[in-house]
Structure 1
Amino acid sequence: MTSGRVDGAFALAVRAVDVGLRFKSGRIVERARSLRRAYAPAVPPKVVRDFDDRLHDAYL
């Protein structure tokens, strides 16, 4: 993925997590998590770290 595509993909994933939490849909949240599992660079960019933080907060 190029940088712009990564940013866009994870921006959509954050929105999906928010929608999934609002509607209490584990399916939506899990689909967003699957994006993260599929993208595993050695050093994740800031947008990916922010997504990780959002998911972490969602499960606390």
Structure 2
Amino acid sequence: MLLLRLDAAYERPPRGGAEEEGRAGAQAVETGVRYRSGRIIERARALRRSFSSSSLPRVVRDFDDRLYGVYL
């Protein structure tokens, strides 16, 4: 279910919904770390790369911080 949610968020880049996609990405990172799943982490990274705005909400910056420290 989580991978499908990430794929859906990736397929339609965030337009005003960056907070929702940021939360989905942060949840994916937490789940990926818990299960040590490189597949989930890579999908979360792909989602993050799809964000193009320079003024991102705090939830996306938190997603960045969490993703930065993950190596699987």
The answer, yes or no, to whether TM exceeds 0.5 is yes
Per the alignment, residue 49 of structure 1 pairs with: 61
**TM-score where L is the length of structure 1:** 0.82
> What CA deviation, in whole Å up to 9, does each residue of 1:14-54 have, x standing for no partner?
11111111111100011011111011212322121111100
Q: Conserved in 1, the CA contact under 8 Å of 2:18 and 2:56?
A: no
* Alignment root-mean-square deviation, CA: 1.2
What letter is aligned with 2:69?
Answer: D
Per the alignment, residue 36 of structure 1 pairs with: 48
Q: In 1, distance between residues paired with 2:18 and 2:55?
A: 13
Per the alignment, residue 37 of structure 2 pairs with: 25
What letter is aligned with 1:42?
Answer: S
**TM-score where L is the length of structure 2:** 0.70
Q: Structure 1: where are the runs of 5+ without partners? A: none
Q: Structure 2: where are the runs of 5+ without partners? A: 1-14
